[in-house]
Structure formats: structure tokens, C-alpha cells
Structure 1
Amino acid sequence: MKNQPTPENILKIGTGFWASKILISATKLQLFTLLAEKKSMSGMAIKAHYGFKCTDRNVYDYLDTLTTFGFLNREGIMETARYSNQLESDIFLDKNKDSYIGGMLEMLNNRLYGFWGNLEEALLTGKQQNEAKNGNDLFEAIYADPERLKEFIQAMSGVQMGNFMAFAKTFDFSKYNTLVDVGGSGALLSLIVAQHQPHMKFISWDLPPVAPIALENIRHFNLQDRVITGNGDFFKDPIPKADIVVMGNILHDWDEETKLMLMRKAYEALPKGGSFVAIEGIIDNERKKNAFGLMMSINMLIETGSGFDYTFNDFTKWANAVGFESTNILPLAGPSSAAIAIK
């Protein structure tokens, strides 16, 4: 029968953590970085490189699953097979490339994979399921540990890298000269836009412990003349004045009252005609298509307890309440968009 129900989707979603772990384990092992260097390898060469103790069949199953998912190319089969990176894997999962987004996958593996095991508790209690369960503030715990902070910054940069590239190429910067990235993390948004907009100057604005990581990236891109760091706390300090104020994955951390406070601060930092830009997994207004945005919102329950992702209609309502003149939305990479408010 043509429309006979099947359990296919139930099984696909129910075993989703299998697929996730296969990808993030390959990222942690730096398999895609290895294949970018070697161009192609046999299954047994890969097994020998890592010293896997599982059977040959297990190795082929693992690599062929990555091939089935579209992350690897394969010529031959099993003993005759040679594996290489698929194009997106080569661009985004080779750790030696500036376009690497694997930091997010590394954090999923090292932090969030375990925390998400407590989703039922989060729903029942409304409480965070991360470091805060031990009485530690999430951000204080992350910022107090330099290695954890670096991993967190790489993760935030990784999840947004495709969006930064799309934003740099599709947003109309022609009438703007300055940009401040609030919670600028590793300064990658500023650096990527700076590469495409040579007439502009940038401030990557974040807490003081972040500055050394951002400065390292700025030196790597050799853009010290146009991208600088600024130290500040958006709960205590005014946002630096600029023609464009950007917040990438910032608003969704907080409850509605705090979102409005941050948008007011952005409004105050802008001139007439200036733009406030929120880059996140904006949920579709009907709340039925952007599964990533909805899952990211659940992740905010795990991470912050009170934060949530939002629709463009939500954003427009808040922008109107703050005093912005108009709003529009610019689709970026995959499920993410730039929600834009004009003063």
C-alpha cells in the first residue's frame, strides 16, 4: 500500500545519537584532517594509524557509515576500498583550515553529549543540566579554565563559521563603516567580514579573558590595522558605538527580559540608520520547519535554564518595543539567519 505507515522515521530519530557519535568521534580522532593530508587511505592504513583494536569488519563498518552519511568518498569496497574526504568535510572538518567548524563537534562530544542525557530532568525541573548542577555559574566555570574557554570559543566559532561567511558576502555593507561584534569570542565574524569589506573597521567586544584568543586570530589573519579587541561586560557596560552591532548566538542565552535589555543597549550604540543584527538559528514563524533552531532552543534549557531561541515574529515584536524602525531577515547557512533591526 502506497501510504502504509512505517517505523522508518521513528527509528531514524530514535537512533540519532548513533549517527551523532559516529561523526563527532571521527572529528575528535581528526580523521578528516588526516585524510586532507594524505588525500586518500585504505581502511587498514587508517586502522594502523590509530591503532584500533577492533576487527577489520568493524573498521569498514565505521568508515562505510561515514561514507553513507556523505562525509567520505570511497573507491572500491572493503579490502580494495580507499577513503577520502567529501568536499564539505574537507572544507569544514580539516583542522588545518581556517574554515574548520569542528570545534562545535568537539564541545558536543566533551560537554553536551553527557548533559543531554539528562533532558528529562531538565524538562521536569526547568533547571540547567551542565556545570551549574554543581553550584557553578556556567560562564564563570568556562571562563575560569583557559583550556575549556578555548574549546568553548572554538565551538561557538565553529557553529557560526558558515553563517559568518554567508553574512560577509550577502549583507549590504556599502553604507556602513564600523561594526562591533558583541560577545565577539575569537573575533572570527569581524575577521571574515573584514576580508570582504576593506573599507570597514571592527571591534570584537567580549570579556577580558577572551582577548588573547581573539588577538591570536587577528594576528593569524594579519588584520591588526582594522580589527581590534574591546573588553567589556554587556550586563554592566555600554556597547561601543558603531554603525552595525552584531550579536551571534547571544540573545538565545537569555530570558525575554534580558533579550530586551540587550537590544536596548544595541539601539543606544547605533546611529540613525544603523543596523542591529542577531545571527542565530531563527525558528520559522509557524514553528514546524527549523528543527535545528528548535533543538538549539532546547539546548538553551540544558545550558541556561531560562534561555530560548525565537521566531522572526518574536524578534520583530522586541525590536518594535525597543524603538527600531523596521526589521528584515536574511537567510544564511543551513538553518540559520540574520534577524536585522534598523534604527
Structure 2
Amino acid sequence: MSSTSEGIKPATLSMDHIWQLGFGFWSSKSLLSAVELGVFTALSDGPLDAEDLRQRLNISERSARDFFDVLVSLRLLERDEGRYANTRETNHFLDRNKSGYIGGILEMCSVRLFGFWASLTEGLRTGKPQSEARSGKTIYDMVYSNPELVEPFVSAMTGYSQGTAIALATKFAWRNYRSFADIGTAQGAIPVRIALTHLHLSGVGFDLPPVRGAFERYVARNGVSDRITFQPGDFFADSMPSADVLIMGHILHNWALDTRKTLLRRAYEVLPQGGALIVYESLIDDDRRTHTVGLLQALNMMIETEHGSNFTGAECQSWMHEAGFRDLQVEHLNGSDWMVVALK
């Protein structure tokens, strides 16, 4: 992941590019509202004209046609002779009834995160979070105290993690191990994908007790209940599961540095000799120049948490080395996600 600034010329921006960046929230919110309203699910059975689609969505007549045509111009919908249809991609990824649905995380962005990001300037001035953390709570406090919110939330996490789960199941040397545990597993996207790909493996999903029902239903739907089980627990208060491989995905960025180091030490203690720890995150590149999503994730951690932040692969390797790990390496997984792998 290391890069160098030697020979790099200053970036040049056109006025049009600056305009697109400044007004980028127009396009973003159009997509988020479309997912929230269920546009792509409404079109799952076939094309509809503007009026039929408007009525199906129960939205006002005033700007419905403009809204649908914005989605056409963004290549999210197709239009032929006045009838609107999903594209191949939106039909697969944004229809709530499809197994490949990734819109859960976008729905959460629309109804929750978009509003918090509107307060980014205030957060930058104060260094304080702009989410539920302003009142001393976390999103987990809010969600896991309400049974009706648990399944939608963990389903959103599954949509967010699907591509990474596929990559993780194929890019790590799973043939060398027999068992694994996913720490902070949510609905279980990671252990399910690994189990489906490697029939010799058995795994554990470790998370807070309210997650159990959603996890076990998801595992059962995917037919791997005989090899994937749930272990309730709090990784601050309870011992992590014993397994050949531990996985911490999108965990460390939530916490202050001392807490991250504590979690890494606890992982080291529970792993057997020769065991592996996989940490995956939307890492910042070591030169802090090119991984835009990783850098934006750093701002998101400021908005979301009291002490969280994002980090580079080199920083994560240094913490793992301090905890006692060896043979450290960083490898790209999918999209903005990279994994840092270390052995005991």
C-alpha cells in the first residue's frame, strides 16, 4: 500500500469538476430516496409508465416525472416509449426481494446518515460527533434496544459487506485452517460466504445477544446451520471465541487507539500458535493521497463516534506487531476494503 509523493504533480480541477463535487449531493440523494421509496422493487415485475409508477410509490404528481428521468440520466433506470424499467444492475442489486440486494445500507444512509453529514462543518469546528453519540449513545445502543430495528440494521450490514465477503472467501489461504470466528458478525454475511465457499470449515459468529435471531435465520436460509453457529458476547467484557482464524471487519475504526490495541492483544491471546487474525477496513493509503473512500470514512467516524477514526495499513500493521503478531501483510479485497493479515 505504500506510495510516494516523488514526481507527483499538483492536481488540476476544471470548473465542471468542482461544480460536480459541490452539487454531488443532488445525485446522491436522488439515488438514496429512490431506494428508500422502493422504486426498483416497484419495477421488479416489469416496466411501468410514469403515472403507474407514481401511484405505485404514492408520491406527488408535481415532480414525479422529473425524478424518474433523473434516475434515467444517472443510468439507474431505462426508459422506452414512456415506460420505465430497471437496468440489469439495479434489478439485481436494488430490488428488495432479490438475494443480491445491497440497498439496506443505502436506506440507512437516506434516513439517518445523510442528515448527520449535513452537520459536517459543525463537527469539523468542534471535533464532536454529530450522530446519536452527541447524547452519549451509539447506533448500537439505539438499534439493539429495539427488536424491530435489529433485522433491518444487520441486513444493511450484509448489503454493505457482500462484495468483501466474496473476496475474503477467495483471497485468504483457508485451506490451511479448520475453524474461524467473525467478531462483530451482524447478520453473518462473512461466515456464511466463507462456509459456502469452503466446505471443510466451521465457524462462529460473535456479536451481542440481540443479533442471535437475525443471524440464525440468515444462516438457515443459506443452508449452513450445521457448520456456522452463533456465540453471544461483548468483546469488551467476554472472551473472544477460540478458533484458528479470527476476523475483525469494520470494528477497529469505531474506537480510540488504546481500545484498538486492547482488542488486538485479546485476539492474540485467544488464537492458537500459527493462528491468523484478519482485520479488514476501508483503509487509507499509506501516503494519505489516493484512497478517497478511506479518507471520507475517517470523516464519517468523526461524525459517528466519540473517539473513532480511520487508519492506514502501515498503522494497523504496527499495532498488530506490538501485540505480538508476525508475518504481517496488506492485501486489497474489494472496492475500498483491504485486509491486514497477521499470524501468531
- If asked which structure has higher relative contact order (CA below 8 Å, sep 6+), I would say 2
Please state if 1:28 is matched with 2:41: no
> Which residue of structure 2 lines up, in the alignment, with residue 253 of structure 1?
254
Question: Contact 2:280 / 2:339 at 8 angstroms: preserved in 1?
Answer: yes
For 2:283 and 2:88, the matched residues in 1 are separated by 27
Range 201-210 or range 111-120, more displaced: 111-120
Distance in 1 (alpha carbons) for counterparts of 2:323 and 2:132: 33
Q: Counterpart of 1:66?
A: 71
Q: TM-score, normalised by structure 1?
A: 0.91
Question: Distance between the aligned counterparts of 1:135 and 1:325, measured in 2?
Answer: 37
- Mapped partners of 1:179, 1:240: distance in 2: 9
Q: What residue is the counterpart of 1:11 in the other structure?
A: 19
Q: 2: distance between equivalents of 1:320 and 1:115?
A: 36
- Once the 2 structures are TM-superposed, how far is the Cα of residue 320 of structure 1 from its aligned partner? 1.1
- Contact (CA 8 Å) 1:282, 1:339: kept in 2 or not? no
Tell me the residue number matched to 1:235: 236
Q: 1:185 to 1:4 in 2, by over 3 A?
A: closer
CA contact (8 A) 2:161 2:189 kept: no
Inter-CA distance 14–221: structure 2 relative to 1 (3 Å threshold)? same
Aligned match of 2:202: 201
The residue aligned with 1:49 is: 56
Moved over 3 A (4+): 3-6, 134-138
1:330 deviates by 2.5
Per-residue CA deviations over 1:182-217 (Å, capped at 9, x if unaligned) read 001111111111111111001000011111111111
Could you tell me which residue of structure 1 aligns to residue 271 of structure 2? 270
Relative to structure 1, is the Cα distance of residues 268 and 7 closer, same or farther in structure 2, using a 3 angstrom cutoff? same
Task: Provide the residue aligned with 1:330 in structure 2.
Answer: 331
Q: How does 1:108-187 map to 2 (within 5 A)?
A: 108-187=109-188
CA distance in structure 2 between the aligned counterparts of 1:276 and 1:81, rounded to whole angstroms: 54
Instruction: Work out the CA distance in 1 between the residues paired with 2:336 and 2:88.
Output: 20
Q: What are structure 2's unaligned runs of at least 5 residues? A: 1-10
For the residue of structure 2 that corresponds to 1:21, the secondary structure is: helix
Q: For the residues of structure 2 that align with 1:139 and 1:211, how far apart are their CA atoms?
A: 14
- Check the 8 A contact 1:279/1:337 in 2, yes or no: yes
Residues 41-93 of structure 1: CA deviation (Å, up to 9, x unaligned): 333331232233234xx334322322332322333xxxx23333223322221
State the superposition RMSD in angstroms.
1.9
Alpha-carbon spacing, 1:166–1:82, altered in 2? closer, same or farther (3 Å): farther
Tell me how far apart the structure 1 counterparts of residues 69 and 170 of structure 2 sit (CA, whole Å): 35
What CA distance in whole angstroms lies between the structure 1 residues aligned with 2:333 and 2:66? 34
1:135 Cα offset (Å): 4.2
Counterpart in the other structure of 2:303: 302
- CA distance in 2 between partners of 1:5 and 1:236 (Å): 50
Deviation for aligned residue 1:5: 6.0
Q: Shift of residue 221 of structure 1?
A: 1.4
Amino acid corresponding to residue 60 of structure 2 in structure 1: K
Change (3 A) 1:18 1:195: same
Q: Distance in 1 between matches of 2:136 and 2:255?
A: 19
Paired with 2:226 and 2:233, the residues of 1 have a C-alpha distance of 21
- Structure 1 residues 4, 280: closer, same or farther in 2, change over 3 A? closer
Contact between 2:50 and 2:83, CA under 8 Å: does it hold in 1? yes
Query: Whole-Å Cα distance in 1 between the matches of residues 278 and 270 of structure 2?
Result: 13
User: Which secondary structure state, in structure 1, belongs to the residue aligned with residue 194 of structure 2?
Assistant: helix
Deviation at 1:292, TM superposition (A): 1.2
Structure 1 residue 108 displacement after superposition? 0.8
C-alpha spacing 1:173/1:148, structure 2 compared with 1 (3 Å): same
Q: Which one-letter code corresponds to 1:21 in the other structure?
A: K
- What is the count of residue pairs matched by the alignment? 334
Equivalent pair of 1:128/1:304 in contact (CA under 8 Å) = yes
> 3-state SS of the aligned residue for 1:222?
coil
